[in-house]
Structure 1
Amino acid sequence: MIVPGARTNAEIKGQVLTRLVQLALRWIFDDQPIGRLRTLLALIEQVQDKDTAVAILESLLRYYVQGTQRIEEHDVRELLQQSTSTGDPIMQTFIDRYIEQGVHQGVQQGGAAMLLRLIERRFGPPSEQVRERVTRADPNTLLQWSDRILDANSLDEVLH
């Protein structure tokens, strides 16, 4: 029996997602970004589909942390830790992914910094183009270039 005015699961899910997007956009330059983010996290917990919830959470945090640079990453980590005290599997899955991304990014940044230092010591200060190329390189490419710097006679031999 269908109750008049009753909403389907899809309609409710759509309303939560719509509300999330609207609030995220409205609150992006709010004076209390952490408080607003806490409210958005509570809405995300209402999304039944775990994969959808995690994807939303990733996008939202990327928007708040990287896009606007109004929230520091350590604040987000602390907020997420507080949110997982209830044992919510969606938040725990996201935290695992977020930490893994942070580790991967740290490895890449450390490798790029080390290679740039080696390039400078061996061939002199690198150009801005070389710096940008190195900082955007993936960890495997950085490892290959780091191996090549030992025997290369020129920077061109390292990077090609």
Structure 2
Amino acid sequence: FGSSRSRFQLPGTRLLGAMAADRTGRTYFITGGASGLGLATARLLVSQGASVALGDKNAEDGKRAEQELGPRCLFVELDVTDKASVRAAIRAAVDRFKTLNGVINCAGIGSAFTTIDKKLEPHNDRFFDFVCKINLYGTFYGSSEGAAEMAKLPADAEGNRGGIINV
């Protein structure tokens, strides 16, 4: 892990370079990978030569994405609120592709609601807890389990072993 922020770059040039990168031989695990930003990210990475493991709760969309992206894609049914599920999904990715170079946490939900309900009462905690489990714990589990796996890799010339992106 490490930061490439230590090198000066003109605004926007890093993104342009990332869009055209050759990622052959690299593997990325993407939570929320069966749709939306997760699937778009997977499509880009596969087009650059990478292998991707898509973790998602939606098996139907996940299997469809796996079929679309071909042999460099693995779909793993995943509940990001369950640490054991995240660990097993990352293990499945490593078993299939033999390495893990990055984790991209795209799984998340949101809701627009007022601070109080229509009766002017505070909302109950049930939905807030659910959102936190997915958005906060899910991101933490993906990051920590992925980091533990990437820590096994040899460091590159800059001392990095992989990367994590939280969306």
Task: Flag whether TM exceeds 0.5 (same fold).
Answer: no
Q: Which has the higher helix share?
A: 1
Q: Which has the higher strand share?
A: 2
Q: What's the TM-score once normalised by structure 1's chain length?
A: 0.29
Q: What's the TM-score once normalised by structure 2's chain length?
A: 0.28
| Structure with more relative contact order (C-alpha pairs < 8 Å, separation 6 or more) | 2
Look at both structures and tell me which one has the larger radius of gyration over its CA atoms: 1
